[in-house]
Amino acid sequence: MTDIPRRAVTRTAKLASLPLGFAGRTALGLGKRTIGRPAEAVALEVQRRTAEQLFAVLGELKGGAMKVGQLLSIFEAGLPEEVAGPFRASLTRLQEAAPPMPAATTHRVLAEGLGEDWRDRFAEFDDRPAAAASIGQVHRAVWHDGRAVAVKVQYPGAAQALMSDFNQISRLSRLFTPLFPGVEVKPVVADLKRRLEKELDYVDEARAQTAFHDAYADDPDFVVPAVVAQSGNVLVTEWLGGTPLARVIAEGGQEERDRAGLLLFRFLLSGPARCEMIHIDPHPGNFRMLDDGRLGVMDFGGAAHVPAELQWSIGRLLRIGTLGDPEEMVEVLRDEGFLDPDADVDAGQVAELVAPHAAPFAVERFRYSRAWLREQTARGLGLASDMRPGALARQFRLPPQYLAVSRALSGCGGVLCQLEAEGPFRAEAERWLPGFADGDDPDATEPEEATA
């Protein structure tokens, strides 16, 4: 028996309930409008009911469906408060937990990965999962040498379920529109599918986590657990305690939330500089605040390579954005492939579209907030949704090399808004992004001599 629903008929039936429910809610809304209810109130009710069904189904299915729910939950900060408030707790639960698979199934996966004598590797093993992720669950155990460890076990059939989910969800992406107006869900889901194919590979995840662990060894701000063992669909790492970031969002004081936000931002920006990699799955379930004030980081299945030349390009783009020169913005965006070389664009509109992304770095201290995110989202949607011939939205594109970094930073921004965090984010960009402070091309000058 497996825990993840993978039979095609079962999963298809569950996902099929989403459009049926959506159609029912839409009909209900139309009916209520005919008896005089305001359109805004009806739309809000449809949004609320859609969220309720959507996250219930995604959480039950796990796999790719739950992963989509986790991703979209990052955008919760941009939802209207009337909807975001009631569902904040349910989104947190989606990020932190899911029903466990039977112990017998867990034991079978462990035997397939670590061998029939897998119990000999552990001094203790708790059959009750400590946490559930989208493609696997984590058990607390004690390694044979006495170390507390986390044992990540992939759900049997996860690969088949993922592909089935994404094929279904990509066809149903329009259902997310009532929840996240302006978010182009279909390309997000397609990109997520490619990433999840990589996340299924625990060999690759172990390699990435080891690279981060080595880069942040003995760091005063961060803890990346060491990889203890990996084989098949089993990954064993050192145990990471602390307070889940989701709980900090829900219950933390302002000082704690500011600290968590600054460290999260610092970790994402410092990764490329320290090991040429970036953590691209910044949903709150992957982070813990430790008692000593450090940020613990987990789940490196989605880590992406960020070479030095791309780091400089990102710093340069951010610098031009903060300077606010529309003509220079257009020139740099053309150079980096965001605009076609022959695109005829209004430089003022380009600057208006870029401004929200650069705002946190144009001042010494900035406060992220749900209200700010909603305001900036609404400000940019008018330009982004204009699909008339010649409109900026039809000429603007995201070059492939920027996709992973863009996803990481936008996800981080959503979490910072959930935290309502304030901090010196500009200083962090100056510290970690080459090209941001002065914009000098690193190839234009002789490199400094390395020192011990």
**Domain residue ranges of the chain, discontinuous segments joined by +:** 8-99+159-196, 103-154+201-304, 307-444
Q: CA–CA separation, 35 vs 416, rounded Å? A: 41
Q: Which residue has the higher pLDDT, 192 or 425?
A: 425
Mean pLDDT of 372-385: 66
Q: Which of 295, 410, 392, 272 is nearest to 344 (CA)?
A: 392
Mean pLDDT of 157-164: 74
Mean pLDDT of 176-181: 53
pLDDT of residue 339: 87
pLDDT at 241 over 90: yes
- For the domain made up of 103-154+201-304, give the CATH fold: Transferase(Phosphotransferase); domain 1 (1.10.510)
Q: For residue 452, how far is the Cα from the chain centroid?
A: 37
The CA–CA distances, whole Å, from 82 to 77, 79, 88, 180, 287 equal 12, 8, 11, 14, 27
- Burial label for 45, CB within 10 Å (0-12, 13-18, 19+), is middle
pLDDT of residue 301: 85
Tell me: the pLDDT tens digits for 121-133?
Answer: 999 999 999 987 6
Q: Which residue has the higher pLDDT, 342 or 269?
A: 269
Strands of 293-405 (E only): list them: 295-297, 304-305, 366-367
Strand 295-297 to strand 222-223: parallel, antiparallel, or no bridges (unpaired)? parallel
Q: CA–CA separation, 4 vs 59, rounded Å? A: 11
pLDDT of residue 378: 66
Q: For residue 405, how far is the Cα from the chain centroid?
A: 11
Model confidence at 1, pLDDT cuts 50, 70, 90, reads very low
Percent of residues, the chain, with pLDDT higher than 70:
64
The CA–CA distances, whole Å, from 86 to 51, 90, 144, 365 equal 10, 8, 45, 30
pLDDT of residue 5: 46
Question: Quick check: helix, strand or coil at residue 84?
Answer: helix
pLDDT of residue 8: 46
Strands of 245-355 (E only): list them: 277-278, 287-289, 295-297, 304-305
Q: CA–CA separation, 429 vs 392, rounded Å? A: 28
- Burial label for 389, CB within 10 Å (0-12, 13-18, 19+), is exposed
Per DSSP, the chain holds a count of helices (H) and strands (E) of: 16, 13
Q: Are 57 and 13 in contact (CB under 8 A)?
A: no
Mean pLDDT of 403-428: 92
pLDDT of residue 55: 57
Q: Which residue has the higher pLDDT, 90 or 404?
A: 404
Any idea which of 89-98, 251-260, 344-353, 381-390 has the lowest mean pLDDT? 89-98
Report the catalytic residues.
281
pLDDT at 147 over 60: yes
Q: Are 346 and 396 in contact (CB under 8 A)?
A: no
Q: Which residue has the higher pLDDT, 225 or 96?
A: 225
pLDDT of residue 83: 52
pTM here is: 0.75
Tell me: the pLDDT tens digits for 38-85?
Answer: 544 544 555 566 666 665 555 555 555 555 555 555 555 555 555 555
Percent of residues, the chain, with pLDDT higher than 90:
44
Characterize 142-165 residue by residue with b for buried, 16 or more Cβ atoms within 10 angstroms of its Cβ, and e for exposed: ebeeeeebbbbbbbbbbbebbebb
Tell me: the pLDDT tens digits for 279-332?
Answer: 988 888 899 999 999 999 999 987 999 999 999 999 999 999 998 889 999 999
pLDDT at 20 over 50: no
Q: Are 421 and 257 in contact (CB under 8 A)?
A: yes
pLDDT of residue 385: 52
Mean pLDDT of 357-364: 92
Q: Which residue has the higher pLDDT, 396 or 235?
A: 235
Q: Are 232 and 394 in contact (CB under 8 A)?
A: no
Model confidence at 349, pLDDT cuts 50, 70, 90, reads confident
Strand 227-231 to strand 222-223: parallel, antiparallel, or no bridges (unpaired)? unpaired
pLDDT of residue 406: 86
The CA–CA distances, whole Å, from 262 to 70, 176, 273, 392, 450 equal 22, 30, 17, 33, 30
Q: For residue 77, how far is the Cα from the chain centroid?
A: 13
The CA–CA distances, whole Å, from 9 to 6, 16, 135, 161, 393 equal 8, 10, 20, 11, 39
Give the number of residues written for the chain: 452
DSSP tag of 294: P
